[in-house]
C-alpha cells in the first residue's frame, strides 16, 4: 500500500537488486528454492562467472544478459523475450522453471 | 544540541533533538525486545540507525552489494486501482501493470492477483485468473506469484456461510465461536489449496498468501495447513506474508505441530512457516502513528533481525504503508520509506522486502 512512486519506486531505488536490469530475477529464482540472500547471490554469481558485487551492477549485467541472451531491460530486436529468455535461464541456473517445462511438454506432444 | 528533522508514524514532519532521536531509537528497540522476548539492538546498530536519521539527504540507500530482492503483494493495483489500494487509477490492464513493474520499475519478482484479493472471491473466476497467468508467463521473465488473502472474515455471516464469531463472543458463546472458526478455517484451507492447484496447472512460479492471520490464529492455521498440502502436491514456491506482528488469539486454543498459535511473534511464526513448507516468509511489524519514525524503524529492525536470525528460509519484511517502520500515510514520504528500507536490510538482515 502506498502510491507507486512513494512506495514501490522508493524501495526499488533504496534496496532492490534491479530485476532484469541486473541479476535480480536470477537471485530471486534461487530464493524460491529457499536459498537465503547471500547463498543465492553466490550461486548465481558462480553460474554467471562474475563477482557477487557485479550482480546488481547494471553496466555489467546489461552486456552480460545480452551475451547470454537471457533477456535485457530495453526493447532490442532479436533478443530473447519472455518465456524464450526463461528457457535459457532455466538451463543457465540448472533449475526447473514450471512454465518452461510445460511449454516443452506441449510442443513435444504436437503431431509431426 | 543539534536537531534532526524526521517524521512521526503518521508521516508528518517533526524536529527532534539528537538526544531525543537516540532515545527513541533505544526505546523502540527495547519495546520490541520486551514484547517479543528477543535481544534489543546493540550500540553499534543504534549508531548505524542514528547516522541514517541524521543524514539530511532526502533519499538513502543500502551499501552497494547489499541489495535485496523485492516481492510485492496486491499485483499492480497501485497503478490501476483506486484509493482502496493507494492506487493512482491508470487505465492499465493487470498484464500491462505487471510488465511495467518488470521493465520500467526493475522489480525482481512480481505477482498476479485480482482486485478483490481473496481466495474465496476469486474461485468463481478461476478460468480468468488461470488464462491471465498463462498469458503473463509467456511474456515476462521475472518469477511470478499468484497472490491473494486467506481473509477468514469473509467466511462468517453475512458474507459467508458460517456463524460469525464476532457476534457469538459478546454473547458469551465461546465454544460456539471457536467451533465457527474451526469450520471456517477448514473451508478457507480448502479454497487456498484449490486455487493453488489451479495456479500450479498454469506453470506459475509461486503462490503468495498475503495478510495471513488477519483474522487471528484460525486463519494462520488454515494458511499453514494449506501450505503444507501445496508444498507436498505442487512445485509452487509459497510466500507467506503476515497481517500483523502478533497472531491474535481470536480462537485461543489452536495449535500447529504442537505449538499454540495465539500470541506468536515473527521469530516464532517463521519456524512454523518453515515446517509447513513456506519458501519465503514476510514478517510484519506494525507502525505506531503516535511514535516517531526512528522509534518505529528501530522497533521494526529489532523484530526483523530476530526473525531473520531464527529463519532458515528467505525473509521478505513487509514495508508497505503502516508496517516495517514506514509511516501510515497513503502518499508515503520517500525519506522515511528509504530509511526503513535500508534499516530492515542492513540491520534487520532481511533477504528481501
Q: Work out the number of other CB atoms within 10 angstroms of the CB of residue A102.
A: 16
Cell numbers that stand for B233 in this block: 502436491
Angstrom distance (rounded) from CA B124 to CA B122: 6
The whole-chain average pLDDT of chain A stands at 96
Do residues B245 and B265 touch, judged by C-beta distance below 8 A? yes
Exposure pattern of B210-227 as b/e (b: 16+ CB <10 Å)?
bbbbbbbbbbbbbbbbbb
Angstrom distance (rounded) from CA B54 to CA B33: 24
pLDDT number for residue A97: 98
Angstrom distance (rounded) from CA B11 to CA B9: 5
Question: Regarding beta strands B280-282 and B237-242, do their DSSP bridges make them parallel or antiparallel, or are they unpaired?
Answer: parallel
Q: Work out the number of other CB atoms within 10 angstroms of the CB of residue A60.
A: 17
Q: Work out the number of other CB atoms within 10 angstroms of the CB of residue B155.
A: 26
SS3 of residue B332 by DSSP: coil
Give, for B15, the enclosing helix (H) or strand (E).
Answer: strand B13-17
- Please tell me the distance in Å from B182's CA to the nearest CA on chain A: 30
- Residue of B83, B96, B108, B231 to mutate, interface with A, max A Cβ within 10 Å: B108
Q: Work out the number of other CB atoms within 10 angstroms of the CB of residue B197.
A: 15
Checking if the pLDDT of A9 tops 70, the result is yes
pLDDT number for residue A46: 98
pLDDT number for residue B28: 98
With respect to residue B286, please indicate whether it lies within any of the assigned structural domains.
yes
Checking if the pLDDT of A1 tops 90, the result is no
Checking if the pLDDT of A111 tops 80, the result is no
User: Does the beta-carbon distance from B141 to A85 stay under 8 Å?
Assistant: yes
Chain B residue numbers touching A27 (CB-CB < 8 A): 69, 108
CATH number for the domain spanning B52: value is: 3.20.20
Let me know the angle formed at the C-alpha of B144 by B140 and B145, rounded to the nearest 5 degrees: 155
pLDDT beneath 70: ranges in chain B: none
Do residues A102 and A87 touch, judged by C-beta distance below 8 A? no
* pLDDT per position as a tens digit, B58-106: 999 999 999 999 999 988 899 999 988 889 999 999 999 999 999 999 9
What DSSP letter does each residue of B94-154 carry, written as one string? HHHHHHHHHHTS--S-EEE--SS-BHHHHGGGHHHHHHHHHHHHHH--S-EEEEEB--GGG
Residue among A5, A9, A17 whose CB faces B67 most closely: A17
Mean pLDDT of A30-57: 98
Angstrom distance (rounded) from CA B144 to CA B94: 13
With respect to residue B109, please indicate whether it lies within any of the assigned structural domains.
yes
- Residue of A4, A11, A88 to mutate, interface with B, max B Cβ within 10 Å: A11
Number of domains present in the structure of chain B = 1
pLDDT number for residue B234: 97
With respect to residue B352, please indicate whether it lies within any of the assigned structural domains.
no
Q: What are phi and psi of B281, to 5 degrees?
A: -115, 135
Does A9 contact chain B (CB < 8 Å)? yes
User: Does the beta-carbon distance from B321 to A1 stay under 8 Å?
Assistant: yes
pLDDT number for residue A112: 63
ipTM of the complex: 0.97
Distances (CA, A) of B323 to B187, B327, B333: 29, 7, 14
Q: Looking at the DSSP assignment, which residues form a beta bridge with residue B118?
A: B149
With respect to residue B351, please indicate whether it lies within any of the assigned structural domains.
no
- Residue of B314, B326, B350 to mutate, interface with A, max A Cβ within 10 Å: B314
Q: Mention every residue, 6+ apart, whose C-beta is less than 8 A from residue B2.
A: B17, B18
With respect to residue B320, please indicate whether it lies within any of the assigned structural domains.
yes
Q: What are phi and psi of B79, to 5 degrees?
A: -90, -45
Which residue segment(s) compose the domain that B320 sits in? 3-346
Amino acid at each position: 500500500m502506498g502510491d507507486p512512486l512513494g512506495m514501490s519506486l522508493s524501495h526499488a531505488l533504496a534496496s532492490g537488486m534491479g530485476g532484469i536490469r541486473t541479476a535480480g530475477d536470477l537471485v530471486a529464482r534461487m530464493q524460491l528454492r529457499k536459498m537465503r540472500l547471500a547463498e543465492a547471490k553466490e550461486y548465481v554469481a558462480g553460474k554467471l562467472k562474475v563477482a557477487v558485487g557485479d550482480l546488481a551492477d547494471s553496466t555489467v549485467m546489461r552486456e552480460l544478459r545480452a551475451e547470454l541472451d537471457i533477456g535485457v531491460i530495453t526493447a532490442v530486436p532479436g533478443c530473447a523475450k519472455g518465456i524464450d529468455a526463461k528457457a535459457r535461464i532455466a538451463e543457465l541456473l540448472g533449475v526447473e522453471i514450471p512454465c518452461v517445462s510445460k511449454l516443452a511438454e506441449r510442443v513435444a506432444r504436437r503431431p509431426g | 544540541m543539534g536537531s534532526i528533522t524526521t517524521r512521526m508514524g503518521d508521516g508528518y514532519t517533526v524536529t527532534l533533538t539528537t538526544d531525543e532521536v537516540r532515545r527513541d531509537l533505544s526505546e523502540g528497540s527495547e519495546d520490541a525486545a520486551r514484547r517479543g522476548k528477543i535481544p534489543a539492538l546493540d550500540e553499534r546498530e543504534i549508531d548505524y540507525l542514528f547516522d541514517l536519521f541524521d543524514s539530511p539527504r532526502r533519499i538513502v540507500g543500502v551499501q552497494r552489494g547489499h541489495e535485496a530482492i523485492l516481492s510485492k503483494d496486491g499485483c499492480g493495483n497501485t497503478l490501476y486501482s483506486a484509493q482502496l489500494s493507494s492506487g493512482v487509477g491508470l487505465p492499465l490492464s493487470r498484464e500491462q501493470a505487471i510488465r511495467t513493474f518488470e521493465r520500467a520499475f526493475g522489480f525482481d519478482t512480481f505477482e498476479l492477483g485480482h482486485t478483490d484479493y481473496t481466495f474465496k472471491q476469486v474461485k468463481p473466476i478461476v478460468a480468468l485468473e488461470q488464462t491471465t497467468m498463462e498469458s503473463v508467463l509467456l511474456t515476462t521473465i521475472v518469477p511470478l506469484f499468484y497472490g491473494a488473502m486467506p481473509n477468514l472474515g469473509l467466511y462468517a455471516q453475512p458474507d459467508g456461510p458460517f456463524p460469525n464469531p464476532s457476534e457469538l463472543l459478546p454473547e458469551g458463546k465461546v465454544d460456539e465461536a471457536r467451533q465457527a472458526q474451526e469450520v471456517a478455517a477448514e473451508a478457507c484451507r480448502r479454497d487456498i489449496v484449490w486455487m493453488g492447484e489451479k495456479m500450479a496447472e498454469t506453470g506459475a512460479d509461486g503462490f503468495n498468501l498475503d495478510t495471513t492471520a488477519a483474522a487471528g490464529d484460525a486463519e494462520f492455521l488454515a494458511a499453514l495447513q494449506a501450505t503444507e498440502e501445496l508444498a507436498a502436491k505442487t512445485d509452487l514456491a509459497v510466500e507467506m506474508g503476515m497481517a500483523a506482528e502478533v497472531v491474535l488469539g481470536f480462537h485461543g486454543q489452536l495449535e500447529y505441530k504442537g505449538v499454540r498459535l495465539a500470541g506468536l511473534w515473527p521469530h516464532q511464526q517463521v519456524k512454523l512457516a518453515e515446517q509447513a513448507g513456506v519458501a519465503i516468509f514476510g514478517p510484519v511489524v506494525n507502525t505506531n502513528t503516535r511514535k516517531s519514525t526512528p522509534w518505529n524503524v528501530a522497533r521494526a529492525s529489532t523484530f526483523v533481525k530476530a526473525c531473520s536470525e531464527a529463519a532458515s528460509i528467505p525473509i521478505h519484511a513487509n514495508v508497505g504503508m503502516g508496517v516495517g517502520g514506514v509511516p501510515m500515510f497513503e502518499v508515503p514520504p520517500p525519506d522515511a520509506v528509504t530509511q526503513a528500507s535500508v534499516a530492515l536490510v542492513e540491520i534487520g538482515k532481511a533477504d528481501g522486502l
